[in-house]
A and B are shown apart, each in its own frame.
Chain A
Amino acid sequence: MSYAYLFKYIIIGDTGVGKSCLLLQFTDKRFQPVHDLTIGVEFGARMITIDGKQIKLQIWDTAGQEAFRSITRSYYRGAAGALLVYDITRRETFNHLTTWLEDARQHSNSNMVIMLIGNKSDLDSRREVKKEEGEAFAREHGLVFMETSARTAANVEEAFINTAKEIYEKIQEGVFDINNEANGIKIGQQATPTNPALPGSGGAGGAANSGCC
Chain B
Amino acid sequence: MFRSRSWFGGPWGGRPKNRLSLEHLKYLYSILEKNTTVSESNRGLLVESLRCIAEILIWGDQHDSLVFDFFLEKNMLSYFLHIMRQKSGGSSFVCVQLLQTLNILFENIRNETSLYYLLSNNHVNSIMVHKFDFSDEDVMGYYILFLKTLSLKLNTHTIHFFYNEHTNDFPLYTEAIKFFNHPESMVRIAVRTISLNVYKVQNASMLRFIRDKTAAPYFSNLVWFIGKHILELDTCVRTDIDHQSNQKLSNLVAEHLDHLHYLSDILLLDIKDLNAVLTEHLLHKLFVPLYIFSLTPAPPPPSLAVVTQNLAAVLNRNVDIDIQEMHNPRVSSIVALYLLSLVFLVVTHAPLVHALAWVILNGDHSVFKEGAAEILNSYVEHREVVVPGFGEPHESLEQALDTVIGHTSTSASSGADAVSEDSGVESTPAASSSPINRHIETVAEAAATRLRNITDEEKQRLQQTSSTSTQGYVELAKPFLDTVLQALDCTENDYLALLSLCLIYAMSHNRGMKNEWFEQVLSKSMHGSFSYRTALIEHLLNIITQSSQPSCRIRLITVEIALELLLTFTKSAADEAPCITATQQGLLFGARNQSMVVLRNFYKSEDIFLDLFEDEYNEMRKSQLNVEFLCMDSTILLPPTGTPLTGIGFTRRLPCGEVEKARRAIRVYFLLRRTCQKFLNEKESLLPLTNVVNLVQVDNVLDLNNSDLIACTVVAKDNTKQRRFLVIDALQLILVEPDAKLLGWGVAKFVGFLQDVEVQGDKDDSRCLHITVHRGGVTHNRTPLLSAKFLFDDHIRCMAAKQRLTKGRSKARQKKMYQIAQLIEIPGQLDSPLYPVCGTSAHSAGAGNTRLVQKGGLTANRVPGFAAVLRSNNSAGVSRTQMAQNRSLEGLRNESGGRSRRRSPMATGSPSSLRPDSGGMLDRDRSPSMSGGSHSSSQSRENSQARSSGNRSREGSPRMPRPRSEEIPLEDFQHSRNNSPHSRSGALGNPSPSSRSHTPSRMLHYDQISVHNASPREPSMLIGGTNALLNPLNGGVTIAREVLPLQSSEETSFIGNDGDAAADNRRKGRGTIETV
Contact = CB atoms under 8 A, between A and B. Distances in A.
Interface stretch (B52-60, B73-81, B219-227): B52-60
B55 A71 contact: no
Interface in A176-213: 177, 180-182, 211-213
Contact of A78 (B185, B261, B264): B185
Contact of A42 (B63, B145, B251): B145
Nearest to B251: A182
A43 B102 CA distance: 12
Interface centre among A45, A68, A177 (most CB of B within 10 A): A68
B185 A77 contact: yes
Interface in B127-183: 137-138, 141-142, 145, 148-149, 152
Interface in A35-80: 36-43, 45-46, 58, 60, 64-65, 67-71, 73-75, 77-78
A30 B261 CA distance: 40
Contact of A213 (B1, B148, B196, B261): B1
Given A70-B258, A73-B261, A74-B258, A41 B4 contact: no
A58 B148 CA distance: 17
Interface residue tally on A, bucketed by range: 35 or more
A132 to B, nearest CB: 21
Interface string B103-115: 1100110000000
B103 A43 contact: yes
A179 B141 CA distance: 22
Contacts of B251: 77, 180, 182
B186 A60 contact: yes
A212 B2 contact: yes
Interface centre among A20, A41, A74 (most CB of B within 10 A): A74
B51 A30 contact: yes
A103 interface: no
A8 B265 CA distance: 26
B107 A41 contact: yes
A68 B148 CA distance: 14
A37 B59 contact: yes
B1047 to A, nearest CB: 43
Contacts of A74: 185, 189, 192, 258, 261
B451 interface: no
Contacts of A24: 104
B193 interface: yes
Interface SS, B side = helix
Contact of A43 (B2, B141, B193, B265): B141
B247 interface: yes
A43 B138 CA distance: 9
Given A212-B3, A212-B4, A69 B265 contact: yes
A29 interface: yes
Interface string B191-206: 0110010000000000
B107 A40 contact: yes
Given A39-B54, A180-B247, A212 B196 contact: no
Given A37-B20, A41-B100, A42-B145, A68 B4 contact: no
Contacts of A78: 185-186
A38 B148 CA distance: 20
Interface centre among B108, B196, B264 (most CB of A within 10 A): B108
Contact of B192 (A8, A31, A64, A71): A71
Contacts of A182: 185, 251, 254-255
Interface string A67-108: 111110111011000000000000000000000000000000
Interface string B230-272: 0000000000000000011001001101100110110000000
B247 A177 contact: yes
A28 interface: yes
B145 A30 contact: no
B926 to A, nearest CB: 55
A70 B141 contact: no
Contacts of A69: 261, 264-265
Contacts of A71: 189, 192-193, 196, 262, 265
B62 interface: yes
A10 to B, nearest CB: 8
Contacts of B142: 43
A65 B255 CA distance: 18
A73 B256 CA distance: 12
B3 A58 contact: no
Contacts of A46: 1
Interface centre among A39, A58, A211 (most CB of B within 10 A): A39
Given A28-B2, A41-B104, A46-B1, A36 B193 contact: no
A65 B189 contact: yes
Contacts of A1: 1
A41 B55 CA distance: 12
A44 to B, nearest CB: 8
Contacts, number: 122
Contact of A58 (B2, B51, B141, B149): B141
Given A38-B108, A212-B2, A58 B137 contact: yes
A70 B261 contact: yes
B58 A180 contact: no
Contacts of B196: 67-68, 70-71
A77 B141 CA distance: 17
B833 to A, nearest CB: 50
A39 B52 CA distance: 12
B4 A211 contact: yes
A16 to B, nearest CB: 12
A1 B96 CA distance: 14
Contact of B103 (A30, A42, A77): A42
A32 B4 CA distance: 11
Interface centre among A42, A64, A182 (most CB of B within 10 A): A42
Contacts of B261: 69-70, 73-74
A22 to B, nearest CB: 14
Nearest to B96: A45
B231 to A, nearest CB: 18
A18 B298 CA distance: 57
Interface centre among B138, B186, B255 (most CB of A within 10 A): B186
A197 to B, nearest CB: 17
Contacts of A211: 3-4
B193 A68 contact: yes
B1 A45 contact: yes
A83 to B, nearest CB: 15
Contacts of A28: 2, 100
Contact of B141 (A38, A39, A45, A213): A45
Interface in B549-605: none
A23 to B, nearest CB: 11
Given A70-B261, A182-B251, A39 B185 contact: no
Interface centre among B1, B58, B62 (most CB of A within 10 A): B1
A142 to B, nearest CB: 15
B94 to A, nearest CB: 15
Contact of A75 (B20, B59, B189, B264): B189
A182 B104 CA distance: 28
Contacts of A39: 54-55, 58, 104, 108
Contacts of B152: 64
B4 A64 contact: no
A64 B254 CA distance: 22
A1 B262 CA distance: 35
Contacts of A213: 1
11 contacts: A30-B2, A37-B59, A39-B58, A42-B148, A43-B141, A45-B1, A58-B141, A64-B148, A67-B196, A70-B265, A77-B185
Interface of B: 1-4, 19-20, 48, 51, 54-55, 58-59, 62-63, 100, 103-104, 107-108, 137-138, 141-142, 145, 148-149, 152, 185-186, 189-190, 192-193, 196, 247-248, 251, 254-255, 257-258, 261-262, 264-265
The 3 closest A-B pairs by CB, nearest first: A70-B261, A70-B262, A78-B185
Given A70-B264, A71-B196, A74-B189, 9 more contacts: A31-B51, A42-B149, A43-B103, A58-B137, A65-B148, A67-B196, A71-B189, A181-B185, A182-B255
